[in-house]
């Protein structure tokens, strides 16, 4: 599907910090998902939607979507995988959130992933997550089956203050799939730069057999300022 939009493979990869040593032919996805340490202490990305601040700890990283420290996406990572973990529930209420039920039941990518058309693929059998309406009350839900893939890298231009023809990996996260991991009702795409981290996010829904875009956020302007993430429930 990506090739239908005129995307072409990248040939020259940007040089940026390395967060761990991955086997030849694979990419450290933590490096691609997070802004470089030399930049994130004083800069963030902005663009068509909310700002995006990056904070990295030894076992998790935050994409914070507001200068006051919330809301956020919080992903866990280790030497094997990067996991979808926590996202906001009510945008303006930092005591509400959605969390993967077993914390690591939703691997998004292998830590060291292969690129390609597609590259690495993960089939997710347990997509359960908990909706917390406050710090103590929650209900459990599910997204059927999931399929996560890494595509690219492609040379893409996002405008703003980002370089043109920037090497970009695309993580495709499909969910609400049937028991055969097909006919997935939703797809989200994370566009990742090795230096800047997340530079674009797109959500599609499957309508009459094809994916139609529902929402798109572009983070293409390097802006001054940092924040400290505020997650008050634990």
| pLDDT tens column, 117-152 | 999 999 999 999 999 999 999 999 999 999 999 999
Mean pLDDT, rounded, of the chain: 93
Q: For residue 2, is pLDDT > 70?
A: no
The long-range contacts involving 180-189, CB below 8 angstroms and separated by at least 24 positions, are 181/123, 181/145, 181/146, 181/147, 184/145, 184/146, 184/147, 185/144, 186/143, 187/211
Residue 12 has pLDDT above 80, yes or no: no
**pLDDT on residue 28:** 97
Q: Which pLDDT value is given to residue 43? A: 98
pTM: 0.92
How is the chain split into domains, by residue range? 28-221
For the stretch 185-189, contacts whose Cβ atoms lie closer than 8 Å and that sit 24 or more positions apart, written own/partner, are 185/144, 186/143, 187/211
pLDDT, position 34? 98
pLDDT digits (tens, 9 = 90+) for 19-78: 799 999 999 999 999 999 999 999 999 999 999 999 999 999 999 999 999 999 999 999
């Amino acid at each position: 599907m990506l090739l239908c939009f005129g995307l072409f493979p990248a040939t020259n990869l940007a040089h940026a910090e390395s967060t761990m040593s991955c086997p030849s032919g694979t990419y450290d996805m933590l490096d691609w998902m997070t802004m470089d340490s030399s930049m994130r202490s004083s800069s963030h990305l902005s663009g068509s939607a909310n700002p995006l601040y990056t904070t990295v700890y030894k076992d998790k990283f935050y994409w914070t979507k507001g200068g006051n420290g919330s809301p956020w996406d919080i992903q866990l990572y280790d030497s094997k995988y990067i996991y979808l973990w926590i996202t906001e529930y009510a945008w303006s209420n930092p005591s509400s959130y959605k969390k993967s039920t077993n914390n690591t039941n939703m691997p998004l990518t292998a830590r060291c992933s292969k690129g390609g058309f597609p590259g690495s693929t993960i089939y997710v059998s347990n997509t359960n997550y908990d909706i917390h309406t406050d710090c103590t009350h929650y209900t459990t839900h599910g997204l059927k089956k999931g399929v996560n893939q890494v595509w690219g890298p492609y040379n893409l231009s996002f405008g703003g203050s980002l370089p043109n023809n920037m090497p970009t990996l695309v993580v495709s996260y499909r969910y609400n799939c049937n028991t055969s991991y097909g006919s997935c009702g939703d797809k989200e795409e994370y566009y990742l730069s090795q230096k800047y981290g997340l530079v674009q996010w797109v959500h599609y829904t499957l309508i009459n057999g094809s994916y139609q875009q529902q929402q798109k956020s572009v983070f293409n302007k390097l802006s001054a300022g940092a924040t400290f993430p505020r997650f008050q429930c634990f």
